[in-house]
Chain A
Amino acid sequence: MAMSQINHKTTEKNSTDIGSAVSVQNISKNYGDVEALRDMSLEFPRGQLTSLLGPSGCGKTTLLKIIAGLLEPTSGHVEVNGINVSGPGPDRAFVFQDFALLPWATVLKNVAFGLQMRGVAASEREAIAERYIKSVGLAGFENSYPHELSGGMRQRVGLARALSVDADVLLMDEPFSAVDEQTRRKFQEDLLSLVRDENKTFIFVTHSIEEAVYVSDQIAILLPRPSRVSEIIRPSSFRNKGVDNIRRDSEYLDIVDNIWSSLRTYVE
């Protein structure tokens, strides 16, 4: 992923009047007696990355799956580009925490899976898949099988699969939690350029405060019991200072500290 064009697009990105790509309205979700989400509403600005941050069990995955159309909410509804969600759609693509790669299929087949399900012809979908495999840095591994790859490489395959279907909204459920720290940092940098270069809306679940502050245009802090959005933070000043300076920026450090002090009471 290219690291050029650092200042490209950054000017308009800090304003909220771009409109929402995804709008979550009064969502509740019960699993039997367990109340996973209660009356949650949240807007996801178009072209930006919004993190859902919170301790485990607060309903992040549940919310993401409802947006994906994989789960029915008990009440409330989700709109994507103004249209009501009633199931999975071509406007959304999912990156899974456990990668969810098919072990019997090569990298190329895995990446092309989404296109295949959309009825794209074999030669065309393989050409597209090859392009995205290259863009996530896996050129040369097209015919490898998932078990031959490291965790980080597997998640790149998962990312290439989601990118290849060219959906407006990318849903990522703790995509970097199963990869090692170095790879994770590289991923976070790559994600920043991805958000900048691709005109997509990213919804990114994480339980890492630093990760959320580092990659997000907007951070929604979720709290459990009852599950709710406790705070929305929009880091503004350090995004255009370049990837190398973000972790030293004073606003970055302040936000990390503030989030920790509001979350610490919920961690036993």
Chain B
Amino acid sequence: MIKRANLLKIVSAVVLCSAWEIAGRIPVSYAFPTFLDSMRSFFEMIGNGMMLEAYKETLQPLVIGVLISAFLGIGLGLWIGLNNFFDWLFSPIFIVMQAAPLAALIPLLVLAYGIGLTSKVMVVCIMAMPVIVLNTSGAVRNTPESFKEMGKSFLASRASILLRIIIPAASPVIFAGLRLGVSAGFIGAILAELKITPTGVGDIITYSRSIADYPSMYAAIFSIILLAVLFLNLIEKLETVLFKGNQRGYVSD
């Protein structure tokens, strides 16, 4: 038996793909291929190794950037959430980062760090980190006072209060930030490949558009979305494993 939630996911995927197929057949635009054509290109590119080559390139800044954003972002978020001075010092930076139009910053990044991996990692981080930091610090600051008081009165050390009370209490919001941040990181990785130097998946998109091979272009876009969805599911699994009871909902009186 498939679980209800999974069944719904499958149904919505089928509906989406059918809508795509229909829109491609009308067609809504000569540059919009059908779902089946795109899938054909998708498997072709997997078969001839193009996809693998492309992802070797694309995954580097993506994985490095997402890992840095996740660890540094949660670390900084905890720090900012626990300490008013660091909140005052750092919060504005991340609020500005979140609001900044990234496309306009890319030329500056290229100027400073060149067109290599560093710039692309920076783009991923700028996209992914602010929401992770801000969600984490906000969640930490909103830990119910009575939980912390309970911890203190039962002689919990500062470390225990952080590990056993603040982090579990904040974990749903931290993970929500992580999911948003990772999605933004995927956008950043592709943006970097489109705006800095066309490599990897960005190269497939740019090149196939230039030769009007729209099925390949959409196959590349499809592949990155698919990867993002798989990755987000992985994060969800991680959350379930790390903080089992939290899914059971909060007590509301």
Contacts of B165 in A (CB 8 A): 102
The answer to whether B156 touches A117, judged by C-beta atoms less than 8 angstroms apart, is yes
Among B153, B248, B251, B252, which residue has its beta carbon within 8 angstroms of that of A94? B153
- Distance, CA A265 to CA B245, complexed state (A): 49
Asked if residues B149 and A100 are in contact (CB atoms below 8 Å), the reply is yes
On whether the beta carbons of B249 and A147 are closer than 8 Å, the reply is: yes
- Does A49 lie at the interface of the complex (its beta carbon under 8 Å from any beta carbon of B)? no
B253 and A98 contacting across the interface, CB-CB below 8 Å: yes
The segment from A36-44, A103-111, A127-135, A194-202 that touches chain B is A103-111
Q: Let me know if B248 and A103 touch, CB within 8 A.
A: yes
B197: Cβ under 8 A from any A Cβ: no
* Interface bin, chain B: 20 to 34
Of B146, B147, B153, B252, chain A has the most CB atoms within 10 Å of the CB of: B153
Is there an interface contact between B250 and A103, defined as CB atoms closer than 8 Å?
yes
Interface residue from A105, A117, A154 paired with B154 (Cβ < 8 Å): A117
* Residue B160 CB within 8 A of the other chain: yes
- Give the residues in chain B near A238, CB-CB below 8 Å: none
Query: Distance (Å) between the CB of B146 and the closest chain A CB?
Result: 4
- Chain B: CB-nearest residue to A114: B154
B245 and A105 form a contact (CB under 8 A) = yes
Which residues on the A side are within 8 Å of B152 (C-beta)? 70, 88
Asked whether A104 and B147 contact (CB < 8 A) given A70-B152, A88-B155, the answer is no
Q: B142 on the interface (CB 8 Å rule)?
A: no
- The reply to whether A104 and B246 contact each other, CB–CB distance below 8 Å, is yes
Which residues of B (42-90) have their CB < 8 Å from a CB of A? Answer: none
Say yes or no: B146 contacts A70, CB within 8 Å.
Answer: no
Q: Does A145 contact B (CB under 8 A)?
A: yes
Which A residues lie within 8 Å of B244 (CB)?
Answer: 104
Interface residues on A, range: 20 to 34
- Asked whether A100 lies within 8 Å of B248 as measured between CB atoms, the reply is no
A37 → B minimal CB distance (Å): 18
User: Is A165's beta carbon under 8 Å from chain B?
Assistant: yes
A96–B146 touching, CB < 8 Å: yes
**B249/A114 in contact, CB under 8 A:** no
- Once A and B bind, how many residue pairs between them come within 8 Å at the CB atom? 76
Let me know if A68 is at the binding interface, CB within 8 A: yes
Decide if B15 is an interface residue (CB 8 Å cutoff): no
Residues of A near B157 (CB, < 8 A) are: 117
CA distance A239 to B248 in the complex (A): 44
**Contact of A90 with B by CB under 8 A:** yes
Nearest-Cβ distance from residue A117 to partner chain B, whole angstroms: 5
- Most chain A CB inside 10 Å of its own CB: which residue of B154, B248, B250: B154
* CB < 8 Å neighbour of A103 from B150, B154, B156, B245: B245
A145-B248 CB under 8 A given contacts A88-B153, A114-B155, A117-B154: yes
A151 at the interface (CB under 8 A from B): yes
In the bound complex, residues from chain B placing their C-beta under 8 Å from that of A92 are 153
Residues 77-96 of chain A: 1 if any B CB is under 8 Å from the residue's CB, otherwise 0? 00000000000111011101
B250 to chain A, nearest CB (A): 5
In the bound complex, how far is the Cα of B117 from the Cα of A247, in angstroms? Answer: 80
Which residues 123-172 of A have a CB within 8 angstroms of B?
145-148, 151, 154, 161, 165
Please report which residues of chain B, range 86-139, place their CB below 8 angstroms from some CB of chain A when the two chains form the complex: none
Which chain B residues lie closer than 8 Å to A100 at the CB level?
146-147, 149-150
- B168, CB-defined interface residue at 8 Å: yes
A96 cross-chain contacts in B, Cβ below 8 A: 146, 149-150
Instruction: Tell me the smallest distance from the CB of B253 to a CB of chain A, in Å.
Output: 6
Given the interface contacts A70-B149, A70-B153, A117-B156, does A104 sit within 8 Å of B251 by beta carbon?
no
Task: Specify which of A117, A146, A147, A178 is in contact with B155 (CB 8 Å cutoff).
Answer: A117
Beyond A103-B249, A105-B245, A154-B251, 18 additional contacts (C-beta under 8 Å) are A68-B153, A88-B155, A89-B155, A93-B154, A96-B149, A96-B150, A98-B253, A100-B149, A102-B147, A102-B168, A103-B250, A104-B168, A104-B244, A104-B245, A117-B151, A118-B155, A148-B248, A161-B154
Task: Provide 10 A-B residue pairs closer than 8 Å at the C-beta atoms, listed in order of the A residue.
Answer: A90-B155, A93-B154, A96-B146, A98-B253, A99-B251, A100-B149, A100-B150, A103-B249, A117-B151, A165-B154
Query: Which 5 A-B residue pairs are closest in the complex by CB-CB distance?
Result: A104-B245, A100-B150, A114-B154, A94-B153, A100-B146
